[in-house]
Amino acid sequence: MINLQYFLTRKKFLVILLFINVIGTIYGYYWYGYQLAETPPIFLPFVPDSPTASFFFVFVLIAFLFKKNWPLFEALAIMTLFKYGIWAVVMNILTLIVSGYLPWQGYMLIASHLGMAVQGLLYSPYYRIEGKHLVIAAIWTLHNEIIDYVFFMYPRYGALDQFIPQIGYFTFWLSIVSIWITFYFGMKKQRKTMVF
């Protein structure tokens, strides 16, 4: 039987995962390029949701490679990786249901975003999140919700435009679940230490 935790803490695997997240983050910002070009500067940090989530996780992985913990990045990472990972999976499946078609990029997004959500959870035994980190990450996440659905900076899925109020409602509750996930998995008293 494979010891998953042993595998996850191998330095070589962490380096590979770091590389994947760096590439994914760069591609994610590129994917948002057209929307960022039309975004008022004040909203720019809040528009590219998924790449910013993986960007947070890049810092978590760098800290792990140095056998350190950066708890604020850990809280931001697990919360936003779960939220935007699950969100993108659901939106792409809804696009398929509504339009009857999903291009190959949509299936790639489903797989990659599901991976985003899972990776944040898999490393949660190694986090050192405290209450103050949870609060800051929750404020960031809920504030981002306001930017998306009050100021209409949400990611564009043309086939789903008619469902924006329902998507905003779903996204709010997904944020609440993500905050709870961060509390439950990220703040356990018994913590593991990253050992190579």
Segment 92-108, tens digit of pLDDT = 999 999 999 999 999 99
194 within some domain:
no
Write out pLDDT tens, residues 128-184: 999 999 999 999 999 999 999 999 998 877 788 889 999 999 999 999 999 999 999
Quote helix, strand, coil % in the chain, to nearest 5: 80, 0, 20
One-letter amino acid at 129 equals I
Tokens coding 59: 């810092």
Burial (CB count <10 Å: 0-12, 13-18, 19+), residue 163: middle
Residue numbers of the domain that contains 115:
4-186
pLDDT above 70 covers a percentage of the chain that reads: 98
Helix extents (H) in 127-193 = 131-149, 164-186
Q: Residue 190: helix, strand or coil by DSSP?
A: coil
Q: pLDDT band for 1, please (50, 70, 90 cuts).
A: very low
Distance CA(73)–CA(63), nearest Å, equals 10
192 within some domain:
no
Please, what is the Cα angle at 130 between 87 and 183, to 5 degrees?
35
Distance CA(26)–CA(29), nearest Å, equals 5
Sign of the four-CA dihedral 162, 163, 168, 169: positive
195 within some domain:
no
- The model's pTM is 0.94
Interval 84-90 mean pLDDT: 97
Q: Residue 7: helix, strand or coil by DSSP?
A: helix
Total structural domains in the chain? 1
86 within some domain:
yes
Confidence at residue 190, expressed as pLDDT on a 0 to 100 scale: 74
Q: What letter would DSSP give residue 150?
A: T
